[in-house]
Chain A
Amino acid sequence: MEFEGIKAEGVEKRYGSGASAVTVLEGLDLEIQPHSFVSLLGPSGCGKSTLLKILGGIESASAGDVTVNGVPVGEAVRRRQFGLVPQKAALLPWKTALENARMLRQIATRRKRGADIEEAAAKALEMVGLTEAAHKLPHELSGGMAQRVSIARALALDPQILLMDEPFGALDAITRDEMNLRLADVWAETRKTVVFVTHSIPEAVFLSDVIHVMGTKPGRIVETLEIDLPRPRTLEVFDTPTFQEYAAHLRHQLEPKAVA
C-alpha cells in the first residue's frame, strides 16, 4: 500500500476547562506529504512540540482528527509507524550505544533477539556514523554522539515517519551544523517522512522541503513555505542568496509584533 502521509484537520488542544482553560492549538489544518522533510518552526510557547506529539499519537487532541496513511493516528502507533527522537537523548545509562539502538525495536516487537533487530540496529548506527562507538556506554559519549544514538534508535524501528522534537537544541553551534549535515545525508538515504520541530531558522531552511511557520496565542500555522533549494545540500548552501532570502523572510515572519 502506498504511503499517503499525515493529515490533520481542525486540531485543537486545550488544557484545563471552563474559564481557566488554556488553548494551546486552535483550528489547525496540516498535510504532510510522504517522503518529505517538514519543519515546524516557531517561537517557544507556540505549541510546536505539542503539535508534534499530537501528530505522532503520543498526546491526544482536544478536537479534530489526525490520520496517517488514511487510518487514525492511534492505529498508526499500533502499527509502529513512528520513530521519535526526543529533545534529550534519554539513553538507558546501563546499556551500550548498540544496545540502546536495539532497545525500542525489542520492546516494540516484544522480542529480545532476532536477525532483523541486530541488522537494523547495526545499520542505523552505521548511518549515524557510530559503528566505532557501538560498545560505549552513554556516559562515555559526547552530547552529539548521544543524540546520534537517539536517532539510530528511532531509525532501527524502521518507521515510516520520524518525529524529531528539537533534537539538536542543546548542542553547540558547530556540533549542530555537523548534525544537520549528517541528518540531511540520512534523510537522502532513507527518504523517511520527517516532522522536525525547531526554533532555528537556518536549521529549518537547510533541512526542509516544507516549513510550517507557527504563531502564538493560540498556536496556529501562519505560513507554509516550500524551500526550493537543490539537494544534496552542503554547508555552502548557507551562503547562497536564495538561502539568505528564505532566512530573511522567515525572520520577518517570526519578528515579535510591536506592542500596541
Chain B
Amino acid sequence: MTNDSTGTLIRKTSDRLGRPPAGHPAGAVNRESVRKFKSWLVRIWPSAAVFVAVVLIWEISVGVLNLSSFVIAKPSEFMQEMWISREMLLDATWVTTEEILQGFLFSIVVGMVLALALARFHWVERALYPLIVLFQVVPKVALAPIFILWFGYGLAPKIILIVVIAFFPITLNMLVGLKAIDKELLLLMRSIGATRNQVLTQIQIPTSLPYLFAGLRIAITLAVIGAVVAEFAGAQNGLGYLIQFASTQLDTPLMFAALILVSLLGLVLYYAMSLAEYLLARKYPHITLQATN
C-alpha cells in the first residue's frame, strides 16, 4: 500500500521534470512517447475547452446583443477577413517577423556583450550599471516617435526600439548567471594561478547559460511588443501598421485579424525559442540543469 503510493509519487515527479528516469531501455521509447502524448492531451484539454467556449460565447453574444461590427467583430467575421485579405496579412506578418528576428538578434548581441563587459571589468560595471538601471525607468514606448524622427520610416528605428526594449532581461539574467559562480571553484582557479579571462571563459560563461536562456525567453516576447509599438509610431507595412491603419478606417474585422496574427506570431516565436533551448539542452544538458553537488 505504502510502497504503491510512493511509486506513484516518484513517477509523477519524473513526469513533472519532463525527462525519463535515467537509464531507461531504448525499447521503451515508443511507449514512453505515447504516454507523453496522452499526458499532454490530459493537460491541454481544459484550456482548449475554455478557449472554444469563449469563442462560441463571443460569436453568439455579438449576434444576440446586436453589437455593431465597428465596435467588435465576430470571430466568424474576422476569420473571413483573414481569408479575404490573406495576401496583405501574410505580407504584413512577414514584414513584422523580419523586424522581430533582426531586432532580437541585435538584442542578443548587445545584451550579451554588455553582460560580459559588466562582469569582466569592474570599471565598466561602476560606470554603466547605474545608468542601465536608470534607463529601465524610461518608458521606452515613448521613445518610438523619437526614433522615427531620427531614423525615418524604415527598418532601422524598429530594430533600435526592439533592442532598447529587449536587451535588458538578457543582460540582467546573464549577469546574474556570470556572478553565480561557485566560491569553491573560484578558490580552485586561484590555487592554480588562473587569470580572470580563464575564469570567465572556463567557468562563468558556461555557468551563465541557463540564466541566459531564461532571459532570452522574456526578450523574445518583448521583441514582439517592440516591433508593434514601432510600427504604431510610423511604418508603411507590418501587422502593427495594419492595426493602426484598420482603426483609422473603422475596419474592425481587419483590426482583429491582425491582432490575432500578432498574438500567434508571439506564441510561435516563444515556442521556437523554447524548442531551440530544448534541442540545445539535449546536446548540452547543463544549459537547463542546475549544479546539483
Residues of A bordering B, CB below 8 Å: 53, 56-58, 77-78, 80, 82-84, 86-94, 103-104, 107-108, 110, 137-141, 143, 146, 153, 157, 163
Interface string of B156-189 (1 = CB under 8 A from A): 0000000000000000000000000010110111
The answer for the CA separation of A139 and B285 in the assembled complex, in Å, is 12
Known: A84-B187, A88-B293, A91-B293. A104 touches B192 (CB 8 A): yes
- B277 CB to closest chain A CB (Å) equals 15
Given contacts A77-B191, A107-B202, whether A138 and B293 have CB atoms under 8 Å apart is yes
Out of B185, B198, B206, name the residue touching A90 (CB < 8 Å): B185
| B203 interface residue (CB < 8 Å to A) | yes
CB neighbours of B190 from chain A (8 A):
58, 77
**Residues in chain B near residue A94, CB distance under 8 A:** 206, 284-286, 289
Q: Is the CB of A86 within 8 A of B187?
A: yes
CB-CB nearest in chain B for A104: B192
Distance in angstroms between the alpha carbons of A100 and B185 in the assembled complex: 12
- Asked if A93 and B192 make an inter-chain contact with CB atoms under 8 angstroms apart, the answer reads no
Chain B residues positioned under 8 Å from A143 (CB to CB): 293
With an 8 Å Cβ cutoff, the count of chain B residues facing the other chain is 24
Instruction: Check if B293 sits within 8 Å of A58, measured CB to CB.
Output: no
Contact indicator B194/A58 (Cβ below 8 Å):
no
B228 to chain A, nearest CB (A): 38
Chain B interface SS verdict (over half)? helix
B285 contacts A157, C-beta separation under 8 Å: no
| B22 with A140: CB separation less than 8 A | yes
**What are the interface flags for B277-293 relative to A under an 8 Å C-beta threshold, 1 for contact and 0 otherwise?**
00000001110011111
Q: A88-B293, A89-B293, A107-B189 are in contact. List 5 more A-B contacts (CB 8 A).
A: A84-B187, A84-B191, A86-B187, A92-B203, A108-B193
Contact B206 A92 (CB under 8 A): yes
Specify the chain A residue showing the minimal Cβ separation from B193: A77
- B293's contact among A77, A107, A141, A163, by CB below 8 Å, is which? A141
Question: Are A163 and B191 within 8 A (Cβ)?
Answer: yes
For A77, give the chain B residue with the smallest CB separation.
B193
Look across to chain B and name the residue whose beta carbon is closest to the beta carbon of A78. Answer: B193
Do the beta carbons of B187 and A53 come within 8 Å of each other? yes
State whether B191 touches A139 (Cβ < 8 A): no
26 residue pairs A–B, Cβ–Cβ below 8 Å: A53-B187, A57-B191, A58-B191, A77-B192, A77-B193, A78-B193, A80-B192, A82-B192, A83-B191, A84-B188, A86-B184, A89-B293, A90-B188, A92-B185, A92-B286, A93-B286, A93-B289, A93-B290, A94-B289, A104-B192, A107-B194, A107-B198, A108-B192, A139-B292, A139-B293, A140-B22
Residue of B with least CB distance to A142: B293
Q: Mark B189-217, 1 if CB is under 8 A from A, else 0.
A: 11111100010001100100000000000
Contact between A139 and B289 (Cβ–Cβ < 8 Å)?
yes
In the bound complex, CA of A137 to CA of B290 (Å): 13
Q: Shortest Cβ distance from B77 into chain A, in angstroms?
A: 53
In Å, the complex CA distance between A75 and B35 comes to 61
Give chain B nearest CB distance to A156 CB in angstroms.
11
Contacts of B286 in A (CB 8 A): 92-94
